[in-house]
Amino acid sequence: MCAKWNSDYDVGLLITGLETLRVTDTAGQAAFSGYESEDYMSVLQSAVRFSARLPETERRRIVRTAVFAALRSGTLTSKRVIAEISKQEKGFLGLQLKRFVLATSLSISYFNSIGSRQTHNARITFSLSLPKAFDRSSLLKRALRQGITELPRDYTQVRISLRGRSEFEAADLALDAFDLIRGTWNLALNHTLIGRISSGRLHSRLEPVNQLLPGPIHTLHEPNGKPATDTFWYEPSVLPGPFKAIDIQSKWKRIQRLEGGIRKKLASSSYRADIEDGIRAYTRALDATDFNAAFLNLWRLLERLTHSLSDPYKVARKRALFLMNGRDRDFHDQVLKHLTDYRNRAVHAGEETDEIETLVFQLKFYVERLLFFHIYNNFPGMREAAGFLDLPTVTGDLRKKIKMMEKAIRFHKA
DSSP string, 23-44: EE-TTS-EEE-SSHHHHHHHHH
Task: Say if residue 161's pLDDT is above 60.
Answer: yes
CB count within 10 Å of CB 256 equals 15
**Residue 311 banded pLDDT, cuts 50, 70, 90:** low
Residue 195 has pLDDT above 70, yes or no: yes
pLDDT at 126 over 70: yes
The chain-wide mean pLDDT, for the chain, equals: 90
Residue 204: pLDDT over 60: no
Q: Using 50, 70 and 90 to split pLDDT, how confident is the model at 146? A: low
Q: Hey, what amino acid is at 398?
A: L
Contact 283, 363 (CB under 8 A): no
Whether 53 and 169 have beta carbons less than 8 Å apart is answered as no
118 in Cβ contact with 161 (< 8 Å): no
User: At 127, is the secondary structure helix, strand, or coil?
Assistant: strand
According to the model, what pLDDT value does residue 404 have?
Answer: 87
Does residue 214 have a pLDDT over 70?
Answer: yes
* pLDDT score, position 149: 61
Structural element, H or E, at residue 160:
strand 156-164
Question: Burial level of 320, CB count in 10 A (0-12/13-18/19+)?
Answer: buried
Q: What is the mean pLDDT of residues 350-373?
A: 92
For residue 212, pLDDT over 70 is answered with yes
Average pLDDT (78-98) is 95
pLDDT of residue 262: 97
In this prediction, residues 164-168 reach a mean pLDDT of 95
pLDDT tier for residue 198 given thresholds of 50, 70 and 90: confident
Q: Determine the pLDDT at residue 226.
A: 94
pLDDT band for 239, please (50, 70, 90 cuts).
Answer: low
The full 3-state SS of the chain, as one line of letters, equals CCCEECCCCCHHHHHHHHHCCEEECCCCCEEECCCHHHHHHHHHHHCEECCCCCCHHHHHHHHHHHHHHHHCCCCCCHHHHHHHHHHHHHHHHCCCCEEEEEEEEECECCCHHHCEEEECCEEEEEECCCCCCCCCHHHHHHHHHCCCCCCCCCCEEEEEEEEECCHHHHHHHHHHHHHHHHHHHHHHHHCCCCCCCCCCCCCCCCCCCCCCCECCEEEEECCCCCEEEEEEEECHHHCCCCCCCECCHHHHHHHHHHHHHHHHHHHCCCCHHHHHHHHHHHHHHCCCCCHHHHHHHHHHHHHHHCCCCCCHHHHHHHHHHHCCCHHHHHHHHHHHHHHHHHHHHHHHHCCCCCCHHHHHHHHHHHHHHHHHHHHHCCCCCHHHHHHHHCCCCCHHHHHHHHHHHHHHHHHHHC
pLDDT over 80 at 30, yes or no: yes
**Helix/strand/coil for 405:** helix
**Between 86 and 205, residue with greater pLDDT:** 86
Residue 410 has pLDDT above 70, yes or no: yes
Return the percentage of the chain with pLDDT > 90, whole number. 69
Q: pTM of the entire structure? A: 0.89
Cβ neighbours of residue 92 closer than 8 Å, sequence gap 6 or more: 54, 58, 62, 165, 166
Residue 357 C-beta-side C-alpha neighbours within 13 Å? 19
Question: What mean pLDDT do residues 140-158 have?
Answer: 79
Residue 407 pLDDT greater than 70, yes or no? yes
DSSP assigned state of 205: P
CA dist 310 and 381 (Å) reads: 18
Which whole number is the average pLDDT over 30-39? Answer: 90
Residue 106's SS3 state is strand
Q: What is the pLDDT of residues 287-309, one digit of tens each?
A: 998 999 999 999 999 999 999 86
For the residues 91-97, what does the mean pLDDT come to?
Answer: 94
Q: Say if CB 186 and CB 286 are below 8 A apart.
A: yes
